[in-house]
Amino acid sequence: MLFCLTIPHLPAAAVRITSATEADVAVVVRDHVISATPALMADGCEIGMAADRVRKRWPEAIVAQRDAVAEASVWEAIVDRVYSTTPLLRVEGRTAILCSADAPTTLARLVRRTQASAGMATTAGMARMAAAAAVPGTVLRVDETDDMAMLASWKVDILCDYGVDEDTVERLKLFGLSTILRLTTLSRRHLVTQFGRTGTIIADILDNLRTPVQLAPWQPPASVLGDVTLTESEREPGPLRTAVVTAVNQAISALAGRQSGRMELVVRDAGRVVGRAERILPEPTQDAEILRRSALMLLQRLLSPDRRMSSITIRLSALRSPVGDVIHLLPPKPSVDDVATSVLRRFPGSLFRVNVHDADAYIPERAATIQPWAADRR
């Protein structure tokens, strides 16, 4: 069985998890909602709704600005949790995780905690569609014997979760194709003829319902660490700043010439995580001064009279090689002589060289001469 987990409301889930709250959350950008928890959406909150209207209608809900760093952190934590259950998984951006269902109980707990939607089925396509149809916080299991019944019960509205526009869905309903099972009666040619590029997307979705997928072992994103343990717990800025700089220097040494685009600072006391801060760097860099300054800014966020720290860990991720180094890894472009040598080796006498003497000459013989390539190279 394959397991698929999706979190369409990731921005809202990130705020809820990082704030350690059970309240409903609406995330806004420029005072308009871009994401909300499932309960709030079910109660009438809509994407694009004004923030003031949300505050007035749901005064108990949290209205927060979008935090891209928190989203990345929460998503990576979810991927790591899934990875701890099985090495066979595939991550599709920040929209879905497909994995082998080796630990369904653990995955179900993760789904409940994050209010994600999840599905289990024998194929990746069925698991993905089951996740789209599942109630947030639950896992919808589709056994092989139940495939046809589930396809008959799923409305074509579910295609909106795949990016199919509402107008196309309405056209499908007008044609009498109100369920996924009825839609499977159409061939790819029919779908493409009627709906163009969108028809190709729908055909791919339907093909994936039956196509088996072989999951490859997941390769976690590369990162480097710098770790410093203090002799005793500290809360004064001086010793903590020194420890942070030492940890950053360790991480920079481990970069080995690569650049980092993201930094995470984790502080512990007696082995327990007491604080975490992250920052997406303006651009990937390996500059020691920029990295040290960024780390000290993260530490400043975590300093508190009530927070003591006994160990500090700096994690640099989103690694890449400098652009110049990447170019040097490519083989040089063959020259004319290199190509000519290869061609003449197989087709002797097939190449000629044109020597232009006077492009404006009236007589062709004075304008240019043509010589065999081999004769010219003697």
For residue 11, give the amino acid letter: P
Q: Are 312 and 243 in contact (CB under 8 A)?
A: yes
Sheet containing 96-100: which strands, arranged edge to edge? Answer: 89-92, 96-100, 2-6, 117-121, 139-141
The one-character DSSP state at 333 is: P
Angle at 215 between CA 162 and CA 191, to 5 degrees: 35
For 84, counting Cβ atoms within 10 Å of its Cβ (0-12 exposed, 13-18 middle, 19+ buried), the class is: exposed
Per-residue pLDDT tens listing for the chain (378 residues): 899 999 999 999 999 988 888 899 999 999 999 999 999 999 999 999 999 999 999 999 999 999 887 888 788 889 989 998 998 999 887 889 999 998 999 999 999 999 999 999 999 999 999 999 999 999 999 998 898 999 999 999 999 988 899 999 999 999 899 999 999 999 999 999 999 999 999 999 999 998 888 888 887 777 899 999 999 999 999 999 999 999 999 999 999 888 999 999 999 998 888 888 888 888 889 999 999 999 999 999 999 988 999 999 999 988 887 765 555 555 677 788 888 888 888 888 888 888 888 877 777 778 888 888 864 454
Residue for token pair 């920052």: 279
> What number of helices (H) and strands (E) belong to the chain?
16, 14
Please state, in angstroms and rounded to a whole number, the distance separating the CA atoms of residues 326 and 221.
Answer: 18
Alpha-carbon distance 78 to 373, whole Å? 64
Spatial distance between the Cα atoms of 79 and 250, rounded to a whole number of angstroms: 26
Nearest to 299 by CA among 244, 260, 354: 244
Going by the DSSP 8-state scheme, the letter that residue 306 receives in this structure is T
* Domain boundary assignment for the chain: 2-119, 224-324, 336-376
356 burial level (CB within 10 Å; 0-12, 13-18, 19+): exposed
DSSP state of 50: B
Q: Please, what CATH class does the domain formed by 2-119 belong to? A: alpha beta
The architecture in CATH of the region 224-324 reads: 2-Layer Sandwich (3.30)
* Angstrom distance (rounded) from CA 74 to CA 181: 36
What tokens does 300 get? Answer: 């400043």
Q: Do domains 2-119 and 224-324 have the same CATH topology?
A: no
Straight-line distance from the first to the last Cα atom of the chain, in angstroms, rounded to the nearest whole number? 69
Is 0.75 surpassed by the pTM of this model?
no
